[in-house]
Amino acid sequence: MTKMKKKFNDWRRRSIVRLISWRIIGGSTTALIVYTVAKAGWSAAETASLIFICQFTINALMYYIHDRIWNMFQWGREVVLEDGTTITRAEYLTRLQEESNATTAGSSKS
């Protein structure tokens, strides 16, 4: 099998869109937590503690889900090959599959 991959890159545009989408989700989640907890009428220390705990755990879970969803999309990803050329990640995966199929077909002829 040919060594094609040099490194994976994400476009800056992809990173910015991911950042914006996360800030919308994370900010909305935090606002909802604060609204819900603040209505309870507890002391300031209790409210702050509960907001911290909820925000920490729920936003961590939300970020994990956000990240896994973004990893399903190939938009904005590229692969820099050993010779310096750049191809999309989808094209790279197609080439790997073709090489794998060719290798499998070649070994079954023996």
Distance CA 36, CA 40 (A): 7
pLDDT digits (tens, 9 = 90+) for 14-59: 999 999 999 999 999 999 999 999 888 889 999 999 999 999 999 9
Domain span including residue 18:
5-109
Give which of 6, 2, 16 is closest to 81, Cα–Cα.
6
The answer to whether the pTM exceeds 0.75 is: no
Overall domain count for the chain: 1
SS3 48: helix
Please say whether the beta carbons of 78 and 88 come within 8 A: yes
